[in-house]
Amino acid sequence: DKIARSVDKASRRSGVKVVTGDTKVVEKGAADKLFINTSGIGVIASGVRVGSKAKCGDAVVISGGIAEHGMAVLNAREELGFKSNIKSDCRNLNFIVEKCLAVSDNISVMRDPTRGGLATTLNEIASFSNLGIEVCEDKIPIIPKVRKLCDILGFDPLYVANEGKFICFVKEKDASKIQKAMGKEARIIGRVTSKHRKEVYLKTRTGSERVLPVLEISQLPRIC
The model's pLDDT over 13-43, given as tens digits with 9 standing for 90+, comes to 888 998 888 878 888 877 777 778 888 888 8
Q: What is the pLDDT of residue 174?
A: 98
Q: Spell out the residues 6+ positions from residue 108 whose beta carbon is closer than 8 angstroms to its own.
A: 50, 51, 53, 54, 55, 58, 169, 170, 171
Report the C-alpha gap between 64 and 82 in whole angstroms.
Answer: 23
Report the C-alpha gap between 128 and 178 in whole angstroms.
Answer: 23
CB 61 within 8 A of CB 170: yes
Helix (H) or strand (E) holding 117: helix 117-129
Q: What is the pLDDT of residue 195?
A: 92
Phi, then psi, of 109 in degrees rounded to 5: -140, 145
pLDDT of 77 over the 90 cut: no
Query: What average pLDDT does the structure give for the chain?
Result: 91
pLDDT per position as a tens digit, 39-66: 888 888 777 888 889 999 999 999 999 9
pLDDT of 137 over the 90 cut: yes
Q: pTM score, two decimals? A: 0.87
Report the C-alpha gap between 215 and 224 in whole angstroms.
Answer: 17
Give 51-90 as a 3 state SS string: ECCCCCCEEEEECCCCCHHHHHHHHHHCCCCCCCCCCCCC
Looking at 51-65, 83-97, 131-145, 199-213, which range is the least confident one? 83-97
| Domains defined along the chain, listed by start | 58-211 (3.90.650.10)
